[in-house]
Homo-oligomer: A and B are copies of this chain.
Amino acid sequence: MAAAAEKRRQILDAAVRVFAAQGYHASRVGDVAKEAGVAYGLVYHYFDSKEAVLEAVFREAWGRLLAAVALAEETGGDAAEQLALVVRIVFRAWRDDPDLVRLLVREITRSPHIQDELDEIGQAFKSLERIVAHGQAEGTFRPELDPRLCGWMLYGALEEVLTGWVLGQLPDDANAVEAAEREVVRTLVDGLRPA
């Protein structure tokens, strides 16, 4: 049993690397199997289809990320602090597992199938939305803002910085990432505050 779970994990990890490197559509099931060091057919023993592999990767990765973000919301801090924490969590993810982030950034939101089935993605937006609403309740964010719109705007700003790193267009050494974290937090928080 332990061995079985291990094989499943091997396949998932390999899928992250392969999908990240070539993109989901360009990746063949055989590539994943070979990268995982298992037989072709074994992928189908553990997963129903190629898409199911992608979905499993997403579900797991999002799960971890959302849990971290949810935790951020529960810290007693004010909205600005919560937002800062979310940014930090997201940016740390890039440092910890760039392949995974690369995959999330490239395929999520854009793949029609994934969207429908994974409403968990929506939770990311909900989290950001709640933080904005929280800030309005506190009086630290402008009351006339539409929290939903802000959720998308914030998500986009974060995702695109990640994309810049993914594509190698923005410097991503430790210092740069730290600086980016400060600047992004400051800009977003200041943007949302009352004049």
| Chain A interface (Cβ < 8 Å from any Cβ of B) | 22-23, 25-26, 105-107, 109-112, 115, 122, 125, 144-146, 148-150, 152-161, 163-164, 167, 169-170, 179-180, 183-184, 186-193, 195
Contact = CB atoms under 8 A, between A and B. Distances in A.
Closest 7 CB pairs of A and B: A156-B160, A191-B191, A187-B191, A156-B156, A152-B164, A153-B157, A157-B157
A160 B152 contact: yes
Given A25-B110, A107-B110, A160-B160, 14 more contacts: A23-B111, A105-B110, A106-B109, A115-B167, A145-B183, A145-B187, A149-B161, A152-B160, A153-B187, A156-B156, A156-B157, A156-B158, A190-B191, A190-B193
Contact of A153 (B111, B145, B161, B190): B161
A106 B122 CA distance: 17
Contacts of A158: 156
